[in-house]
Amino acid sequence: MISGKLQLYNLCVQKGTLTPEERYIINDHIVQTIIMLEQLPYPKHLRDVPRLAGAHHEKMDGSGYPRRLYGEDMPLAARIMAIADIFEAITASDRPYKKAKKLSEAIHIMAMMKQDHHIDPELFDLFLRSGVYRRYAEKYLSPEQIDDVDIEQYLS
């Protein structure tokens, strides 16, 4: 049974559903990923794998984790991975703790992340213009998640 003080503490979370301690534990997965990946031997063409995997949770404004890199310090591949990772997480239907978002909702959320300097604006525009979001949706999302998206309102 959870004590009253702990329940009150958990109810005071202002954004999302995680306490700072729970968020730290979840964010630590990327640190553990980097540690594990850095121990592996890679052929020359894959030597950047730990750096790329470790940077895809960074944000363009330097508020990401684990290194708090700014956009210009993030590898291009990591900025691309960040957009793909966010889109997949928002639309995923296999997460018991959240409902999968419709395509229009996912794009709107990501557009706000673009505005807040969390994701690369040029890459997000390319993500929309190329139609890759739509091709992914048609292949992996349920039909009820796929709705119309007016991408023009989200382009720079």
Residues classed as catalytic: 5
Instruction: Please enumerate in sequence order all residues whose Cβ is within 8 A of that of 62, keeping only pairs 6 or more positions apart, or say none.
Output: 68, 69, 70
The Cα 75–Cα 122 span in angstroms is 14
Token look-up 């949706």 returns 137
Alpha carbon distances (Å) from 83 to 27, 57, 106, 127, 156: 17, 10, 11, 8, 16
At 147, the amino acid letter reads D
Instruction: Please enumerate in sequence order all residues whose Cβ is within 8 A of that of 14, keeping only pairs 6 or more positions apart, or say none.
Output: none
Q: Is 57 helix (H, G, I), strand (E, B) or coil?
A: coil
Answer for the pair 90, 110: CB distance below 8 angstroms, yes or no: yes
